[in-house]
Amino acid sequence: MTHRIGYIVGSLAKDSINRVLSKSLVRLAPPSLELVEIPIRDLPLYNRDDELDPVAAVTTFKHDVERAEGLLLISPEYNRSIPGALKNAIDWGSRPWGHNSFARKPTGIIGASTGAIGTAVMQSSMRSVLSFLNAPQLNAPEAYITFKPELFGEDGEVTDPATEEFLRHYMSEYAAFVERVVSLTAPGHVGDQG
């Protein structure tokens, strides 16, 4: 069985190192995952006044999140936190109240940075947000990637065997997590109350 996984790149930059990382993850994902990007570039700034009559970009974003069986957040860390564009997307996706598109989506968080601690602080902040949104999270393995240009090709090829094996293992663990969560939240499951 193949699961449709929406991935969101938390940087808007065309040459983002996290976009490069996303290409590697797509290449290394097991066959049970179909990864499809959910873009956030065209989303306006979140405004509660527009919740009930959002622009098309918001409607499309929420539809794409809801269509996905799981979500992979691939993001840099800005000023020790979640990039504004990504937080903005999450705010749109979780509103209006009672229409949270992220609920029950098995979620993985990974990110690359040129710094030694990768994106550890952003991921910690993101875990708090996702917990509030009722989005189950892959807690281990954690993946904080120190990005070195010589390790990644533009097409997603990983030139370092140890890095390639780590990313392949991460995607394999994420696939198993998706399978567990989807099987527990499927309609008709004994524990399903709604």
Q: Which amino acid is at 70?
A: G
| pLDDT tier for residue 67 given thresholds of 50, 70 and 90 | very high
d(CA 3, CA 5): 6
What's the Cα-to-Cα distance from 174 to each of 71, 85, 109, 136, rounded to whole Å? 10, 24, 10, 12
Residue 188: its pLDDT value, please? 61
Q: What pTM was computed for the model?
A: 0.92
Average pLDDT over residues 169-178: 98
The CATH code that applies to domain 3-185 is 3.40.50.360
pLDDT single digits (tens) 120-156: 999 999 999 999 999 999 999 999 998 988 889 878 8
Half-sphere CA count of 54, side-chain side, radius 13 A: 23
The domain spans of the chain are 3-185
pLDDT single digits (tens) 5-35: 999 999 999 989 999 999 999 999 999 999 9
What single-letter DSSP state applies at residue 152?
B
The backbone region for 162, taken as left when phi is positive above 0, alpha when psi lies in -120 to 50, beta otherwise, is alpha
pLDDT single digits (tens) 97-117: 999 999 999 999 999 998 878
